[in-house]
Structure 1
C-alpha cells in the first residue's frame, strides 16, 4: 500500500524506475481500450477476492469480464499482470487523494508538519475504507511471486516520504524509528478498516488512529 505523499501522479516511476521492468508490471500503451481494461480489472478483483490469487483462474476472469482470454493476455500478460495493475490502480488513487488533501490544507494556511501529516493520514485511511475490497486483497499473503519484495520497496519509500512531511532528520536513528513506527500504525489501521461492519465503525477507527498519530508524531521534548 502507498503512503502519505507530497504530490500525486507518477511518483513511483520517479522513485522506483526499474519497478515495471523488474516486477513485470504491465505497460499502458497510448490509445489502449480503457473499457476492456476496466472490465478485466473489475472481473479480476471479483475472482481474486472470492478465490484468492493462487486459486483464481484466467478462464473465469475472462468469462466474467466478457473479454476473450486472448485479449486478457494482450492487455495484461496473465494473472500476475492483472494483480499488479490492481495494486498500481489502488496506490495511485490513494496518492491522488492524499496529495489533494495536503494541497487543500496548505491553501487554507496550514503549515504545521504534524497537522499536515495527520490530515494526509486521514485521507489515506478514508480511501482504504472507500476501496476496502481492493485494499484488503492487497495486504493478503496470497499474491504473485515477488510481490512481497515490491511491497517492501514501496513501504521504504513511504517511510521516507512521511519523514520529509514530518520534517524528521532521517540521519538520526531515533527519527527513523519514530517515522517507521508511525507508518506501521497507519498500515495496521488500514487492515482493521477492512473488517469494519459499517461506516460508523470505520470513522471511529479513523478518528482514534488520527489521535494516536498526533501523539506519536510529536517530537520528543
Structure 2
C-alpha cells in the first residue's frame, strides 16, 4: 500500500513537472510574440519616434539591448542616426518594428538580431527565415533604403558561439542573395574563442570599449 502511494506520488510529481515545463515554453513564446505588451515604457519611445516627422536621410538602428545601449547620435555625431533597439528583442520582433516604421523610408537600416533567439532556443532556421522577411519587407516598401545586416556578436558561452558562427555564415549568404550588405563584426570582438572580456560587461552586452570598437568598424557604412 505504501509502495503504491509512493509510486502514485512520483507519477503526479512527474506529470506536474511536465505540465509546468510545457506552460513555461508556451508562456515564453507568448511573451516574445506579444513583446510590446510587456514594454510599456519603451512603447513611449516608439510612440514619440513614430509621431515625429521623418528626417530626410534618416539612419535607423534596430536590434536587441546591445543596440539599445549604443549611443549612436553621440558616436556618429549625426542627428539623423536613430536608435530603435529594444532589450529582449528577437528576430520576430524585428519584423514587427520594420512594418511599423518602413513608411518613413529611411536612407539606411542597420539590423542586429539573433543572440536572444539563440538564448531562447529558437531555431536557426526560424532566425534565417525572419531575416529574409525583414529584408524583403524593406525592399518591397522602401526600395531605396540601404540594408546593413550586422553579424551576431560572440558571447562567453561556447555552445552559444557555435550556433552564432554557423548562423553568421548563413546570414552572409542570405545578404549576398538579397543584395544587402553583411557586416561581420564577430572576429573583431573575439579573444580566443570567446568575446574579449575588455569589450563586454557580462559576456554578452558591450562595454564602453566594445561600443567604441563597434563604431570604429561601421563608421564607413554610417557616414
Flag whether TM exceeds 0.5 (same fold): no
TM-score normalised per structure 1: 0.35
TM-score normalised per structure 2: 0.35
Structure ranking higher in strand proportion: 2
- The structure showing larger relative contact order (alpha-carbon pairs under 8 Å, at least 6 residues apart) is 1
Structure ranking higher in helix proportion: 1
